[in-house]
Amino acid sequence: MNSTKLPATIQVQSRQRQYKIRGEAVALFCDELLQTLGHAGKTASIAFVSARTMQALNRQYRQKDYPTDVLSFSYGAAEVEGAVFLGEVIIAPEIAVRNARRWRTRPEKELRKLLVHGILHLLGYDHETDKGRMNRIQNRLLRRKFFRHAPSLADLKGNR
Protein backbone atom coordinates (compact mmCIF):
# COMPACT_ATOMS: atom_id res chain seq x y z
CA MET A 1 0.00 0.00 0.00
CA ASN A 2 1.44 3.35 -1.06
CA SER A 3 0.45 6.32 1.05
CA THR A 4 1.54 9.87 0.41
CA LYS A 5 0.87 12.89 2.63
CA LEU A 6 1.49 16.03 0.62
CA PRO A 7 1.38 19.76 1.30
CA ALA A 8 -1.75 19.83 -0.88
CA THR A 9 -3.66 18.48 2.19
CA ILE A 10 -4.86 15.50 0.20
CA GLN A 11 -3.89 12.02 1.31
CA VAL A 12 -3.61 9.51 -1.54
CA GLN A 13 -3.48 5.76 -1.07
CA SER A 14 -3.27 2.99 -3.64
CA ARG A 15 -4.67 -0.27 -2.30
CA GLN A 16 -4.65 -2.03 -5.65
CA ARG A 17 -1.83 -3.42 -7.73
CA GLN A 18 -3.06 -3.30 -11.29
CA TYR A 19 -2.31 0.37 -12.06
CA LYS A 20 0.44 2.73 -10.91
CA ILE A 21 -1.11 5.78 -9.27
CA ARG A 22 0.89 9.02 -9.19
CA GLY A 23 -0.05 10.19 -5.71
CA GLU A 24 1.51 13.63 -5.90
CA ALA A 25 -0.24 14.43 -9.19
CA VAL A 26 -3.59 13.22 -7.79
CA ALA A 27 -3.12 15.33 -4.66
CA LEU A 28 -2.21 18.45 -6.63
CA PHE A 29 -5.15 17.94 -9.01
CA CYS A 30 -7.59 17.61 -6.09
CA ASP A 31 -6.05 20.58 -4.30
CA GLU A 32 -6.48 22.71 -7.44
CA LEU A 33 -10.05 21.47 -7.73
CA LEU A 34 -10.85 22.44 -4.13
CA GLN A 35 -9.28 25.88 -4.66
CA THR A 36 -11.36 26.37 -7.82
CA LEU A 37 -14.50 25.46 -5.87
CA GLY A 38 -13.67 27.91 -3.07
CA HIS A 39 -12.61 25.28 -0.53
CA ALA A 40 -8.85 25.84 -0.36
CA GLY A 41 -7.11 24.29 2.61
CA LYS A 42 -9.72 21.63 3.24
CA THR A 43 -8.52 18.04 3.37
CA ALA A 44 -9.70 14.76 1.90
CA SER A 45 -8.52 11.23 1.41
CA ILE A 46 -8.40 9.58 -2.02
CA ALA A 47 -8.07 5.78 -2.15
CA PHE A 48 -7.66 3.60 -5.22
CA VAL A 49 -8.91 0.04 -4.75
CA SER A 50 -9.44 -3.14 -6.74
CA ALA A 51 -12.76 -3.91 -8.42
CA ARG A 52 -13.27 -6.68 -5.88
CA THR A 53 -12.83 -4.32 -2.94
CA MET A 54 -15.09 -1.76 -4.59
CA GLN A 55 -17.81 -4.37 -5.06
CA ALA A 56 -17.61 -5.27 -1.36
CA LEU A 57 -17.86 -1.58 -0.37
CA ASN A 58 -20.76 -0.99 -2.76
CA ARG A 59 -22.55 -4.02 -1.35
CA GLN A 60 -21.91 -2.98 2.25
CA TYR A 61 -22.82 0.71 1.98
CA ARG A 62 -25.30 0.85 -0.91
CA GLN A 63 -26.67 -2.71 -0.99
CA LYS A 64 -25.65 -3.00 -4.66
CA ASP A 65 -23.68 -6.14 -5.46
CA TYR A 66 -21.45 -4.94 -8.30
CA PRO A 67 -18.26 -2.89 -8.50
CA THR A 68 -18.90 0.79 -9.13
CA ASP A 69 -16.30 3.28 -10.32
CA VAL A 70 -16.41 5.81 -7.44
CA LEU A 71 -17.81 6.09 -3.93
CA SER A 72 -17.71 9.13 -1.66
CA PHE A 73 -18.00 9.19 2.10
CA SER A 74 -18.59 12.71 3.40
CA TYR A 75 -17.70 13.53 7.00
CA GLY A 76 -19.32 16.97 6.99
CA ALA A 77 -17.29 19.44 9.00
CA ALA A 78 -15.00 17.01 10.82
CA GLU A 79 -11.65 18.48 11.84
CA VAL A 80 -8.31 16.73 11.57
CA GLU A 81 -5.24 18.52 12.90
CA GLY A 82 -7.06 21.85 12.74
CA ALA A 83 -8.23 21.50 9.13
CA VAL A 84 -11.67 20.65 7.80
CA PHE A 85 -11.70 17.02 6.66
CA LEU A 86 -14.30 16.57 3.91
CA GLY A 87 -14.15 12.77 3.73
CA GLU A 88 -13.00 10.01 1.44
CA VAL A 89 -13.25 9.36 -2.28
CA ILE A 90 -12.70 5.75 -3.30
CA ILE A 91 -12.01 4.90 -6.95
CA ALA A 92 -11.61 1.58 -8.74
CA PRO A 93 -9.18 2.30 -11.63
CA GLU A 94 -10.04 -1.03 -13.25
CA ILE A 95 -13.69 0.03 -13.54
CA ALA A 96 -12.67 3.51 -14.71
CA VAL A 97 -10.63 1.97 -17.54
CA ARG A 98 -13.50 -0.35 -18.45
CA ASN A 99 -15.93 2.60 -18.54
CA ALA A 100 -13.52 4.68 -20.62
CA ARG A 101 -13.43 1.93 -23.23
CA ARG A 102 -17.23 1.67 -23.22
CA TRP A 103 -17.68 5.45 -23.59
CA ARG A 104 -14.75 5.78 -26.03
CA THR A 105 -12.83 8.26 -23.95
CA ARG A 106 -9.29 8.27 -22.57
CA PRO A 107 -8.85 6.42 -19.26
CA GLU A 108 -6.96 9.42 -17.84
CA LYS A 109 -9.91 11.70 -18.62
CA GLU A 110 -12.29 9.24 -16.97
CA LEU A 111 -10.13 9.12 -13.83
CA ARG A 112 -10.12 12.93 -13.61
CA LYS A 113 -13.90 12.97 -14.07
CA LEU A 114 -14.29 10.51 -11.19
CA LEU A 115 -12.14 12.67 -8.92
CA VAL A 116 -14.24 15.73 -9.76
CA HIS A 117 -17.45 13.74 -9.22
CA GLY A 118 -16.28 12.34 -5.88
CA ILE A 119 -15.10 15.68 -4.52
CA LEU A 120 -18.37 17.35 -5.51
CA HIS A 121 -20.19 14.69 -3.49
CA LEU A 122 -17.91 15.43 -0.51
CA LEU A 123 -18.95 19.07 -0.80
CA GLY A 124 -22.59 18.10 -0.50
CA TYR A 125 -23.72 17.97 -4.12
CA ASP A 126 -26.10 15.16 -5.06
CA HIS A 127 -26.96 14.60 -8.72
CA GLU A 128 -29.91 12.41 -7.73
CA THR A 129 -31.73 15.24 -5.94
CA ASP A 130 -30.40 18.62 -7.14
CA LYS A 131 -32.17 18.97 -10.52
CA GLY A 132 -28.93 18.81 -12.50
CA ARG A 133 -26.90 21.37 -10.54
CA MET A 134 -24.05 18.96 -9.72
CA ASN A 135 -23.86 17.77 -13.33
CA ARG A 136 -23.69 21.35 -14.62
CA ILE A 137 -20.87 22.21 -12.21
CA GLN A 138 -19.05 18.98 -13.07
CA ASN A 139 -19.32 19.65 -16.81
CA ARG A 140 -18.07 23.21 -16.36
CA LEU A 141 -15.08 21.95 -14.34
CA LEU A 142 -14.29 19.28 -16.93
CA ARG A 143 -13.80 22.01 -19.54
CA ARG A 144 -11.33 24.01 -17.43
CA LYS A 145 -7.66 24.16 -18.35
CA PHE A 146 -6.44 22.53 -15.11
CA PHE A 147 -8.66 19.54 -15.83
CA ARG A 148 -7.60 19.10 -19.44
CA HIS A 149 -3.87 19.80 -18.97
CA ALA A 150 -3.03 18.36 -15.55
CA PRO A 151 -0.06 16.02 -15.28
CA SER A 152 -0.86 12.34 -15.72
CA LEU A 153 -2.49 10.91 -12.59
CA ALA A 154 -1.80 7.24 -13.26
CA ASP A 155 -0.40 4.70 -15.67
CA LEU A 156 -3.70 3.21 -16.84
CA LYS A 157 -2.29 1.09 -19.65
CA GLY A 158 -1.81 -2.06 -17.63
CA ASN A 159 0.01 -3.72 -14.81
CA ARG A 160 2.50 -1.84 -12.69
Inform me whether the pLDDT recorded for 148 exceeds 80: no
How does 13-50 read in b/e, with b if 16+ C-beta sit within 10 Å? Answer: bbebebbbbbbbebbbbbbbbbeebebeebbbbbbbbb
CATH 3.40.390.30 given to domain 2-152: yes
Give the percent of the chain with pLDDT over 90.
68
- CA angle centred on 147, ends 141 and 150, rounded to 5°: 165
What's the pLDDT tens digit per position in 99-119?
Answer: 999 999 999 999 999 999 999
pTM (2 decimals)?
0.88
What's the pLDDT tens digit per position in 41-55?
Answer: 899 999 999 999 999
Report domain extents, the chain.
2-152
User: pLDDT at position 127, please?
Assistant: 85
Inform me whether the pLDDT recorded for 160 exceeds 50: no
